[in-house]
Structure 1
């Protein structure tokens, strides 16, 4: 491994050894490691904060000598929880390297990418006199909460230059993720008249009505994949909460609905489908209080063509480094959807081979680091040229 990649691996080890599980650990230790590394190399950085003044990210900003658009690299430095630590075969915060694998929570998602992007910021700074625009590196400490506080703080920061595009450092060597399904999420409150479960005559309770609604939703016809977007929409009932004990007919049951959307079946179509199902329930099993729906989240789907930046730069750089990669549209949503809602094109995945992401024994293959580093370096310098 060359000195630059050894430096990246060493920084990633330090980051893994500072647990930063979303909603569990404080982020001060992991942010301090990054600040010490960046400060020792005279790279300009600053913390970003949320509305409650909590630090949610570090933003590195490298200004180039000539005018031009800014581009951004983004990697999260918070992580998923460990799960059952007794089931791991090594320490989740060990950060050791064994047989060429960097081991520990965050090795794959995405502390190795964060370390690599810090190194690329240094490489861009050293060549800034010949480059245009600028490079932002967003090190997000509020990604795994689902709130994406770091990205939101970046996009609303009046001092930050809005990027022309973003490359997000999720792992995976065979593909460049250029799109993802959107989402529409809602909670549904199903109501019924309460009473004693042993009464001679009792109308269906809220749980029974909710069960009927679940069946109606799962039987609803969704359109197939079509056109340039390769995935179909998908509806999942993700939660069901209602009732208490045995002697009372439940008066309320709440469902969680997750609907993955596409350009042909967007958030408006998703809401129309769910509202039609709830109206049908209230017609066939009427109660004095109608079923109510509360929207929780809504993100658009996105997909870049192979000719659009920054997808074109990353795909071209991978080919020039001898890799055979394909563009992919992801089923799960990601931070690229948030950026798409802001009109900012993004790639959302290309990196080293990995195992155990969000699961047991997470690890990342360091043998892939030199070529992945070279691809991102080449793509970034090409965009800034």
Structure 2
């Protein structure tokens, strides 16, 4: 049983988390669309009022891309990071929303609005965890950093990149990424390799008596080869939970009806694994392109431009910080599964730097990246306590229920 004063303190903490999250949701911060100043300003004011040490993060062009709060312990030890993005997905069609996307209202136990689930509630929770550490005795080892980043939903990851490049930041031993959902903790992810292929052919008139193999025909043949590609480990026999996958995600070329185009651009997305890496992905795609060039020759060879590459990663069952989060959830009586995703973006970025990362665990949600996004508050106290227990374990600090 939690005694009266401690229960009142816990309830006040949860109320404060919700209030901060409401203020964040009320500041539109769609990635690549809105000004991030207002939402980061709410966080900066909150941290300053509670004397939580923090500073601004800027990208190479000087743009504000996040805040970094840091609380150092009184003993030597590793630093750990809690990361929650405060930019969001776009709204989509406003006509389909049943409440304003920047509502911030609490209705029937749900926090309503874009970013409520991904990931403004987590940002509010992590700020409170940092404030609790900053206000108490420094009876822990190492330190805790809280990264409140933007430029995540654009895929640029400007805040995370600025943090990793900051010469004054302590390199984290591991990162917990705030994400909703109580059933799973992400402990790994497929990587990705993305490229644009440009297929060439002579242009011509569709009604001409002269037969020309068009760029569309050549590109369609290439798509067929990629769709039929035999991928090693696709059956999961390699030991990695997910197999590789090749997907053509865009096909652009031509206009009108009477002219056959001289080029078609194809986007190819390959999900990679430890047994089918970026080099293997590029080799497969180049081989398919060369086969088309030999079978249906064009004026110039098919060209390839790499767009992005992320390495796959997977933590061991006892590897931190996932182990602490899974252990804390299970001590609370919850059946939480370890999951390998495909991919988990910032987790892959960190993996490329040799930094272990996990995503989750958070409250139940609906409408993430879609219509009527909302986050359940009924489970927030338990989620907060589980994160606090995990942080205390990582910092070698006795756990005290909030």
TM value normalised by structure 2: 0.94
Q: 2:138 aligns with which of 129, 137, 140?
A: 129
Distance in 2 (CA, whole Å) between partners of 1:101 and 1:87 is: 18
Distance in 1 (CA, whole Å) between partners of 2:332 and 2:48 is: 31
Structure 1 residue 6 displacement after superposition:
0.7
Contact in 2 for aligned 1:335/1:348 (Cα 8 Å): no
Distance in 2 (CA, whole Å) between partners of 1:73 and 1:333 is: 15
- What is the 5 A alignment of 1:129-278? 129-223=138-232, 224=234, 225-278=236-289
**What secondary structure does 1:2 align onto?**
helix
Distance 1:215 1:227, change over 3 A: closer
Q: Deviations over 1:272-294 (max 9, x none)?
A: 11001000000100112000001
Structure 1 residue 128 displacement after superposition:
4.7
Distance in 2 (CA, whole Å) between partners of 1:19 and 1:193 is: 48
Q: 2:50 aligns with which of 28, 41, 47?
A: 41
Contact in 2 for aligned 1:72/1:137 (Cα 8 Å): yes
Match of 1:307 in 2: 318
1:361 aligns with 2:372: yes
Structure 1 residue 319 displacement after superposition:
1.1
**What secondary structure does 2:379 align onto?**
helix
Distance in 2 (CA, whole Å) between partners of 1:158 and 1:74 is: 18
Provide the aligned C-alpha RMSD in A: 1.0
Q: 2:342 aligns with which of 320, 331, 338?
A: 331
Distance in 2 (CA, whole Å) between partners of 1:321 and 1:132 is: 24
Q: 2:90 aligns with which of 77, 81, 101?
A: 81
Contact in 2 for aligned 1:186/1:297 (Cα 8 Å): yes
Unaligned runs of 5+ in 1: none
Q: 2:76 aligns with which of 51, 63, 67?
A: 67
Match of 2:362 in 1: 351
**What secondary structure does 1:203 align onto?**
coil
Structure 1 residue 196 displacement after superposition:
2.1
Contact in 2 for aligned 1:186/1:295 (Cα 8 Å): yes
Structure 1 residue 215 displacement after superposition:
0.6
TM value normalised by structure 1: 0.98
Distance in 1 (CA, whole Å) between partners of 2:256 and 2:238 is: 50
Structure 1 residue 333 displacement after superposition:
3.2
**What secondary structure does 1:286 align onto?**
coil
| Deviates further, 32-41 or 330-339 | 330-339
Distance in 1 (CA, whole Å) between partners of 2:334 and 2:211 is: 66
Contact in 2 for aligned 1:194/1:249 (Cα 8 Å): yes
Distance in 2 (CA, whole Å) between partners of 1:62 and 1:3 is: 22
Distance in 2 (CA, whole Å) between partners of 1:302 and 1:127 is: 36
